[in-house]
A and B are shown apart, each in its own frame.
Chain A
Amino acid sequence: MPAEAREFVAEGASPATEGPPGVAVSIRGLGHSYGELRTIERLDLEAPAHGVVGLVGPSGCGKSTLLELISGLQEPVAGEVEVGGAGDPRGRLTRCAYMPQRDLLLPWLSAIDNAALALRNRGARRRAARREAGRLFERFGLAGFEGAAPAELSGGMRQRVAFLRTLVAGKPVLALDEPFASLDAITRAEMQEWLAAALRADPRTVVLVTHDVEEALYLSDRVAVLSARPARVVEELQAPSPRAPDRDAAVTDPGFVAVRERAMLALRGGAG
Chain B
Amino acid sequence: MSRRWLLPALVLATMVGAWQVAASSGAIAATLRLEDFLVPAPSEIAASLWENRSLLADNAWVTLQEVLLGFGFALVVGLGAAVVLHLSETLRRATYPLIVASQTVPIIVIAPILVVWFGYGIGPKLAIVALICFFPIVVNTLDGLRSVDPDATKMMRTLDASRWQTFRRVEAPTALPYAFSGAKIAVAVAVIGAVFGEWAGSDSGLGHLMLLDNAQLETARLFASVVVLSAIAIALFGLLALAERRIVTWR
Interface residues of A (CB under 8 A from B): 68, 71-73, 93-94, 96-102, 104, 106-109, 117-118, 120-122, 149, 151, 165, 169, 171, 175
Contacts and interface: CB of A to CB of B under 8 A. Distances in A.
29 contacts: A71-B158, A73-B157, A93-B158, A93-B160, A94-B160, A97-B158, A98-B154, A99-B155, A100-B151, A100-B154, A100-B155, A102-B151, A104-B151, A104-B152, A106-B152, A106-B169, A107-B251, A108-B173, A117-B156, A118-B159, A120-B165, A120-B169, A121-B156, A121-B160, A121-B161, A121-B162, A121-B169, A149-B250, A169-B159
A169 B250 contact: no
A96 B152 contact: no
A169 B157 CA distance: 11
How would you classify the secondary structure of chain B's contact residues: helix, strand, loop or mixed? helix
Contacts of A165: 159
A71 B170 CA distance: 20
Contacts of A151: 250
A109 B159 CA distance: 16
Interface of B: 149, 151-152, 154-162, 165, 169-170, 173, 249-251
B157 A93 contact: yes
A117 B249 CA distance: 20
A68 B159 CA distance: 13
Nearest to A151: B250
Contact of A96 (B158, B165, B249): B158
A12 to B, nearest CB: 10
A31 to B, nearest CB: 21
Contacts of B158: 71-73, 93, 96-98, 169, 171, 175
A117 B160 CA distance: 9
A106 B250 CA distance: 9
A177 to B, nearest CB: 9
Contacts of B156: 117, 121
Contact of B159 (A72, A107, A121, A149): A121
A73 to B, nearest CB: 5
Contacts of B161: 117, 121
Nearest to A101: B151
A50 B168 CA distance: 34
B154 A118 contact: no
Given A98-B155, A100-B155, A121-B160, 17 more contacts: A93-B158, A94-B160, A98-B154, A100-B151, A100-B152, A104-B152, A106-B152, A107-B250, A108-B173, A109-B169, A117-B159, A117-B169, A121-B159, A121-B161, A122-B160, A165-B159, A171-B158
